[in-house]
Amino acid sequence: MSRDSSFSRLFRLIDDALRPYTYSLLQDMQKPEVVCSTKDKEKDLLIALSQVWREIQLMKQELDCDSDEDEDSESDGDKKSSEEAELQHEYHNCSTEILATLMILLTVESQFVQHLVGNILVVVSEFVAQAAKEWDSFISSLFICLKLAISNVLPCSLATSRDQKGDSSSLVVLRARLKNANWSTVGAIVRVLRCTLKYLKQEGDDQLLETFTDCVSSFLLDVPWDVMEEIQVDHGSDAKESSSLNSCFTETKFVFLGNFIQFLCSLVEQSCPLEAKVGAQDNHSFPCVIVGFVPRILRLFLGKQGNCANLSISLYFRHKLLMLMLRLSYHTCLGYSTLISWLQLLHEYYEEFLHKPIIQLDISQDEFLEGSPFLASLSDGGVKRFSSSHLQRWGILLFLRCCFSLISLTGDIREQCACATPNSCSTFNSISEPTHARKTGFLELCEWLQGHLPSDISMAREMYLENCIGFSSSFLQLYMHEDDVLFEVLLQLLSIQSSLEQLSKAEKWAFENVNKDILFQALSMFNPVHLFHLFLAALHYDHQVILDYLISKDTGASCAEYLLRSLRVVCNSWSLFITFSVHEKLKNPSSCKKRKLLLDGSNVQAEVSSVPSEQTLSPGLEKHEKDVERSWKHDESTRQMFKEAKNCLLSLKYSVENLHRKNLFPYNPEALLRRLTKFQELCLM
């Protein structure tokens, strides 16, 4: 079966099977009441839709089998030039009719019908992409359908004057079919686009994916964000209304918003590699477009005050919005104004999570293992309890990324605003020196740290370093049971150390508005050697856990990067590494990756099963390294911590070498082995 005949067959299949139902719906559209099918009609329609979906799946398989034959028959291009033009016109008409038929079925008020129609649209999109016929026109028409559906439920009209072929008649047909579209229809189309994006990513066709992302950018720029915000209903009215689901959103709006935020997250996660390939990092590439609209997106989902009546939905949206902003921060270059804006948004929508105590008297193991915002079976109170630590981890990570990005900004700030909207830099045009950015980031960081540290902490106090390391232990423990974010935050802390050290030497303003000790406290709390020691201790010095991290497809790359960078720092600060110790007490040897912390401003007790006795913290900062190194020779507890860390890393080296020798390691670990070899050489000196 040729690709040309298969495309015509696709149209006939859909038209023949679904025409009776679409005709009935078109007749019903003449009536003012909402389209709604009876139970009997719905059952028949569901059977027909299931059959159509299966038939298209079979056609896709046949098309794939015939692909090699079609490639051999493409040499007679000159003879078929006129036929090609005719066929292109026919494909375009078929594509429009297919969409028109399926779009009217998306207006049926049945979640089962909409789901099946959505599945058919997904497989049709895959079929068109695979056939390489009319892909540009088809995907453009699909986005036009999305715009028409939104225009139908909003008091405005999106720019949809004609399709990519300049055919306004197709637009008239599609608009008529979407006359009764609602937010559920819009959500179904967005779901189709998200599934299509995943398919394109799996296929690895950059040309098709680039066309898709161009349509996304155009759509996002056309979205009337100011009007979209009006779809929310009285976020903070009276108490009786706030307990009702309808006081915040209707159910169909939830469906749309849930699909929309998932679509945005998938766009940033899956398509940014394409942006790097084609060099599309400009003001109009869709990641930059999304960055510019982040404030409006947050207001759309969470309201101006950030209080949605339904707690479970609010927590879910907060989680997804954090994911979106974090992915954007990793894939785009954020300028000064954007970073400032995002810090303000974090304070507005995530303040409670930023300032939730990090040092806790009791940490439930279950909270870490089940800290997901998707626990629908729990009551709102249970969801909030389980979700708070999860949102706290991700919120703090984004906050630190914004602060550290500001501190690290160099050059003319105005040149680093490429991802902002045209008006987003206007407030900050007078600020063009990187010093202002570093100062802003540092002051934000200081204020956050001071909110988590004991009020009487001082470098002059005897227990100063214990308090700093106690905070570091608590901070690290917060992330230990969520592996995907653990290494992200550890790498983030590694990146800031050099910037903080430069600030301590160069910036005169650093001590104007804050306690002059805070910079040195930050250096102590985020010291990479201390954190690496605490990381190993939190794993009970079990090299098998690290090996699991290294071979995991989710954490392998980030864990390897963290080990490489940490080992380099350790080798360059060897005396600090071998003299590190912490006051701790063994409580529960069987508790894996768990540490209970008590901080009262004067002492810290920690639970680490790998250390067999209480230990006294070495007094002093890095400037006292030499004195501490001399005392270490007589400090058996400090020697024990170094011995545990050494044995762990050398065991890791042996295991990685063994797997690599048998070609069982999933990637080339030679760089890591070189660092571990250097570490071994220092241990033998």
Is the predicted pLDDT of residue 461 greater than 90, yes or no? no
pLDDT of residue 369: 40
The helix or strand, by DSSP H or E, that contains position 598, with its residue range, turns out to be: strand 598-599
pLDDT of residue 312: 77
47 confidence band (pLDDT: 50, 70, 90): very high
Ramachandran class of 605: left when φ > 0, alpha when ψ lies in -120 to 50, beta otherwise: beta
- Per-residue model confidence as pLDDT tens digits over 564-586: 999 999 999 998 898 887 655 43
Average pLDDT over residues 522-540: 88
pLDDT of residue 508: 57
Alpha-carbon span 263 to 114, nearest angstrom: 18
Token pair in block for residue 263: 């679509």
Question: Structure pTM?
Answer: 0.80
Using CB atoms within 10 A of its CB, is residue 668 exposed (0-12), middle (13-18) or buried (19+)? exposed
453 confidence band (pLDDT: 50, 70, 90): confident
pLDDT of residue 169: 75
Q: Among the listed ranges 195-209, 227-241, 372-386, which one has the minimum average pLDDT value?
A: 372-386
pLDDT of residue 545: 95
Is the predicted pLDDT of residue 434 greater than 50, yes or no? yes
Is the predicted pLDDT of residue 430 greater than 70, yes or no? no
Going by C-alpha positions, the residue among 128, 141, 212, 133 that lies closest to residue 171 is 141
pLDDT of residue 366: 43
Average pLDDT over residues 538-562: 93
Token pair in block for residue 13: 């299949």
Is the predicted pLDDT of residue 611 greater than 80, yes or no? no
Average pLDDT over residues 303-327: 79
Is the predicted pLDDT of residue 57 greater than 70, yes or no? yes
Is the predicted pLDDT of residue 300 greater than 80, yes or no? yes
Token pair in block for residue 460: 């002059």
pLDDT of residue 622: 44
Is the predicted pLDDT of residue 463 greater than 60, yes or no? yes
pLDDT of residue 595: 35
What's phi and psi for 604, nearest 5 deg? -130, 130
Q: Among the listed ranges 70-84, 208-222, 279-293, 590-604, which one has the minimum average pLDDT value?
A: 590-604
Alpha-carbon span 299 to 264, nearest angstrom: 15
Which of 266-275, 305-314, 655-664 is modeled with the greatest confidence?
Answer: 655-664
pLDDT of residue 232: 58
122 confidence band (pLDDT: 50, 70, 90): very high
CA dihedral 553, 555, 560, 562 (to 10 degrees): 170
Alpha-carbon span 521 to 454, nearest angstrom: 12
Alpha-carbon span 162 to 168, nearest angstrom: 5
Q: Is 118:191 a contact under the CB 8 Å cutoff?
A: yes
Is the predicted pLDDT of residue 310 greater than 70, yes or no? no
Residue 442 CB neighbour total at 10 angstroms: 25
The helix or strand, by DSSP H or E, that contains position 294, with its residue range, turns out to be: helix 294-302
Average pLDDT over residues 202-222: 87
Alpha-carbon span 329 to 307, nearest angstrom: 25
Average pLDDT over residues 218-234: 73
Alpha-carbon span 327 to 347, nearest angstrom: 19
Q: Among the listed ranges 28-42, 338-352, 443-457, 638-652, which one has the minimum average pLDDT value?
A: 28-42
pLDDT of residue 325: 93
- Per-residue model confidence as pLDDT tens digits over 150-170: 988 887 766 665 544 555 678
Average pLDDT over residues 336-345: 92
Average pLDDT over residues 129-145: 85
Fill in the DSSP letter of residue 288.
H
Is the predicted pLDDT of residue 124 greater than 90, yes or no? yes
CA dihedral 85, 91, 95, 96 (to 10 degrees): 50
What does the DSSP assignment read for 640-652?
Answer: HHHHHHHHHHHHH
Token pair in block for residue 601: 């401003």
CA dihedral 46, 50, 55, 56 (to 10 degrees): 90
pLDDT of residue 279: 44
Q: Among the listed ranges 33-37, 224-228, 386-390, 431-435, which one has the minimum average pLDDT value?
A: 33-37
| Mean model confidence pLDDT for the chain | 74
Alpha-carbon span 618 to 625, nearest angstrom: 10
pLDDT of residue 340: 92
From first CA to last CA, the distance across the chain in angstroms is 73
Burial track 298-332 (b if 16+ CB lie within 10 A, e otherwise): bbbbbbeebebbbebbbbbbbbbbbbbbbbbbebb
Residues 6+ apart with CB under 8 A from 182: 107, 109, 152, 153, 252
Average pLDDT over residues 67-84: 51
Token pair in block for residue 369: 């293992």
Alpha-carbon span 439 to 510, nearest angstrom: 7
- Per-residue model confidence as pLDDT tens digits over 171-203: 888 888 888 888 899 999 999 999 999 999 888
Alpha-carbon span 653 to 645, nearest angstrom: 12
pLDDT of residue 132: 66
Alpha-carbon span 656 to 551, nearest angstrom: 10
424 confidence band (pLDDT: 50, 70, 90): very low
- Per-residue model confidence as pLDDT tens digits over 241-275: 444 444 444 677 888 888 999 999 988 876 554 44
pLDDT of residue 234: 40
Q: Is 222:280 a contact under the CB 8 Å cutoff?
A: no
Alpha-carbon span 535 to 554, nearest angstrom: 19
Alpha-carbon span 96 to 139, nearest angstrom: 11
Alpha-carbon span 234 to 295, nearest angstrom: 19
Is the predicted pLDDT of residue 672 greater than 90, yes or no? yes
Is the predicted pLDDT of residue 282 greater than 60, yes or no? no
Query: Residue with structure tokens 């038929």?
Result: 101
Residues 6+ apart with CB under 8 A from 301: 257, 261, 317, 321
CA dihedral 381, 387, 388, 389 (to 10 degrees): 140
Burial track 33-63 (b if 16+ CB lie within 10 A, e otherwise): eebebeeebbeebbebbeebbebbeebbeeb
pLDDT of residue 154: 83
Alpha-carbon span 625 to 627, nearest angstrom: 6
Alpha-carbon span 408 to 402, nearest angstrom: 10
440 or 420, higher pLDDT: 440
132 or 598, higher pLDDT: 132
Is the predicted pLDDT of residue 136 greater than 70, yes or no? yes
